[in-house]
Amino acid sequence: MYGDSATVRSILAELGDTWAVVGLSGNTARPAHGVAEVLQRYGKRIVPVHPKAETVHGERGYTSLSEIPFPVDVVDVFVNSGQAGQVADEAVAVGARAVWFQLGVVDEAAYERTRAAGLRMVMDRCPAIEIPRLG
C-alpha cells in the first residue's frame, strides 16, 4: 500500500483545497470527470489539467501544471503509469504539497522521488472512495 491512512487523511483534510486534476477533460465517460465532481462536492477546488485545457465543472483548464497561475495543494494524476513520474516531478517543481496517483497508476521510482522531495504521496488509490470515509 502506497500511502497509509494517516497520509490519506492529511492530504484530504489538512493540506489544502486546491486540487489540480491531471487528465481531466470534458469527457464525462472518463473516471477523472466523476472524481473531480466528488472532490468539488466535498469543498475542493478542482483545476483541470489536460492538453485541451477545457473548462470542466465550471473551472478553467490549463495545458500543464506550470501554466496554473496560483498555488496548487494536491496534484491528482489520471494519466497512465508511464507518464505519471513526469507529472510527479512537475508537481514538485511547481511547489505542490502532495501528489495522488489514481487507482491503477503505479510508479514506485516516482513515489520515492516525490516523498524524498518532501511531498506527501498516495499511489493506486482514489480520493472519491477515500474522502467519504473521513466522516
What's the pTM? 0.96
d(C-alpha 109, C-alpha 34), whole Å: 28
- Eight-state DSSP code of residue 40: H
Chunked into runs of 10 residues, the chain (135 residues) has average pLDDT values of 85 94 96 96 97 96 98 97 97 98 96 97 95 84
- DSSP letter at 18 equals E
